[in-house]
Amino acid sequence: MSLNLCIDWGNTNVKAAIFADDKLQKQITCSDDTVLEQVASLIEAHNPAKAILCSVVQASGELTQLLRSKIPGTVVMSGDTNVPIMNAYLSQDTLGPDRLALVNGAYFAYPDKNNLVVSLGTCITYNLVQKNKTFRGGAISPGLQMRLKAMSAFTDRLPEVKSLDDDPLLLGYDTDTCLQSGAANGMAAEIDGMIKAFEDRYPDFNAILTGGDAPYFVTKLKSKIFADPDILLKGLNLILNHNVPLPR
């Protein structure tokens, strides 16, 4: 049985998963401070044959060294990593590798669809992979916490919202609830509008929601959308197998 280690280092936390014969067997989430210790423990417990690291932060050098010292078949992703689909993004040097992983996971989950992957993290990324197996791009906008912090940071008197109600009012009755309404309800309206715009342009359309804030928004959207919290990790596993096949 072949074991793969797939790691997604985002702006907020780190996810690491063990895949056995392409099935996700174990997943952990850790902070930047504990990632080296926890990944080392994961390697010791499972002894994976291959590993892939997808990082959007600069602080992942030590983890890269750890992986390469323990697992010779290690891939460190970038925007121009060789992937199973056509990467037609024009500025691959600034392409987040997480976006590339997302569209690979989406294509192989729904190969007969034009898939829009909406990832809700520090930023919202809209990533379209066409059913002709091509990724061309999408859109990027501020995520939920970025919106809330920006309204405070770029004004003199607006406070920073520290916590969000589960169901923010449309009509805020004070400054705090108005900020919540604008950020959360405005973001939901944006996502619905973007999904509709892509759906109108591309037939055989499918939308997938993922990312850290996806559970908060999944019930707030009007669009038909599939939630898959593991689509990025699944994409990483596919890319790893594409780059480091097992010896025959």
**Same fold for the domain at 1-76 and the one at 79-248?**
yes
Residue of 98, 156, 166, 230 marked catalytic: 98
pLDDT tens figures, 222-240: 999 999 999 999 999 999 9
Instruction: Say yes or no to pLDDT of 8 above 70.
Output: yes
Distance CA 108, CA 82 (A): 16
pLDDT tens for 82-135 read: 999 999 999 999 999 999 999 999 999 999 999 999 999 999 999 999 999 999
CA distance 225 to 232: 16
The b-or-e profile of 168-196 (16+ CB within 10 A means b, else e) is: beeeeeeebbbbbbebbbebbeebeebbe
- Report the 3 state secondary structure along the chain: CCEEEEEEECCCCEEEEEEECCEEEEEEEECCCCHHHHHHHHHHHHCCCEEEEEECCCCCHHHHHHHHHHCCEEEECCCCCCCCCEECCCCHHHCCHHHHHHHHHHHHHCCCCEEEEEEECCEEEEEEEECCCEEEEEEEEECHHHHHHHHHHCCCCCCCCCCCCCCCCCCCCCHHHHHHHHHHHHHHHHHHHHHHHHHHHCCCEEEEEECCCHHHHCCCCCCCCEECCCHHHHHHHHHHHHHCCCCC
Topology of domain 79-248, per CATH? Nucleotidyltransferase; domain 5 (3.30.420)
CA dist 170 to 147, 167, 173, 194, 235, Å? 17, 9, 9, 20, 37
| Angle ∠(99,100,101) on CA atoms, nearest 5 | 90
Encoded tokens for 119 = 């990832």
Is 166 in the active site?
A: no
Cα 53 from chain centre: 13
Question: Could you tell me which residues come within 8 angstroms of residue 203 by beta carbon, excluding any fewer than 6 positions away?
Answer: 114
pLDDT category, 247, cuts 50, 70, 90? Answer: low
Question: Which superfamily does 1-76 belong to?
Answer: ATPase, nucleotide binding domain (3.30.420.40)
What are the residue ranges spanned by the domains of the chain?
Answer: 1-76, 79-248
* pLDDT band at residue 12 under the 50/70/90 scheme: confident
244 token code pair: 């480091």
Q: pLDDT-derived band of residue 1, with 50, 70 and 90 as boundaries? A: confident
What pLDDT sits at residue 248? 55
